[in-house]
Amino acid sequence: MQELEVKAEDALMIGTLNGDRYTMRQQLTKECIMALSSNKAKIIIAAIFLIIVASIGYYVMQREAELPPMTVQEKKARFKSLIVPAVESVYLELMQQYQDIKTIIDAGESNDEVEQLKVEYKVSTDAQLLMALKPHPKSIAIAQAAMESSWATSRFFRKGYNIFGVWSFDEDEPRIAALQKRGDKTIWVKKYDSIEEAVYDYYRTLARSDAFAEFRQTKMETSDPFILVTKLDKYSEKGSLYGEELTSIIKYNKFDNYDR
């Protein structure tokens, strides 16, 4: 009888121990779940925080890139202060180069510089080289800059000084993707380090491209900007309308005064 009581007591103790272990396992499981839930919640909160910070940063950057509200007069004044000095500087440099090379060619001479320029501008004769090197009137460059950059307010200008909407076909050069695609094709434009660099590349583009051969030939015959702009129909998808719009911009803003 006593032995049975002992066994019963042992069984009770064992049951109690097993119950305690079960309770402990439950408690540990509950704590683990709570810990995991807590960590998961922390991760989610941290992720949300990072997203919010990134969104705020992007918004601030976009706001900083935007221009303050301006009247038409203020916008044009800002444009002139930025663009005209650069155009005048590049024009003078190119005109000096043209006159120096013309002097050499008119003397019936040649040198390494002349031959290197022929390679750079993809021409074979002296006459073609002079056509390429002679800069066209500043009024045209200024008018195109105004039209192509919306008076120096476009995204391409603000982010990369691309004042003339010059496209990029070289993936290794600095460039900017257009926000809109043509079908599934991304449009890229060049990115420059300065306005002067953009102006120089613009003059160089018109001096080298086959699309502007007639324009180059005509500028050797006349410096009249209103005649020359009619030869820029291939610069824009607008065709002949492009020259008409340039004419209006030059006349209305008296940009031809910069040619005198």
pLDDT in tens, 49-75: 444 434 434 333 443 457 889 999 999
How sure is the predictor about 124, in pLDDT bands with cuts at 50, 70 and 90? very high
Rounded distance between C-alpha atoms, residue 48 and residue 44, angstroms? 6
pLDDT for res 67: 80
Q: Is the pLDDT of residue 189 over 80?
A: yes
CA-to-CA dists, residue 202 to 155, 196, 232, angstroms: 18, 10, 13
Q: What is the mean pLDDT of residues 209-228?
A: 98
Query: 142 CB contacts (<8 Å, ≥6 apart)?
Result: 83, 84, 87, 255, 258
How sure is the predictor about 94, in pLDDT bands with cuts at 50, 70 and 90? very high
Q: Is the pLDDT of residue 113 over 70?
A: yes
Q: Is the pLDDT of residue 47 over 60?
A: no
pLDDT for res 58: 39
pLDDT for res 52: 45
The token pair that represents 34 in the structure block = 């709570």
pLDDT for res 104: 97
CA-to-CA dists, residue 156 to 3, 139, 151, 189, angstroms: 97, 22, 12, 8
Query: 94 CB contacts (<8 Å, ≥6 apart)?
Result: 133, 135, 200, 203
Q: Is the pLDDT of residue 26 over 80?
A: no
Q: What is the mean pLDDT of residues 176-197?
A: 93
Percent of the chain with pLDDT over 90: 72
Neighbour-count burial of 225, counting CB atoms closer than 10 A to its CB (0-12 exposed, 13-18 middle, 19+ buried): buried
CA-to-CA dists, residue 58 to 55, 65, 172, angstroms: 5, 11, 26
Q: Is the pLDDT of residue 23 over 60?
A: no
Write the pLDDT tens digit of every residue in 140-186.
999 999 999 999 999 999 999 999 999 999 999 999 999 888 888 99
Query: 39 CB contacts (<8 Å, ≥6 apart)?
Result: none
pLDDT for res 30: 59
The region of weakest confidence among 11-15, 135-139, 192-196 is 11-15
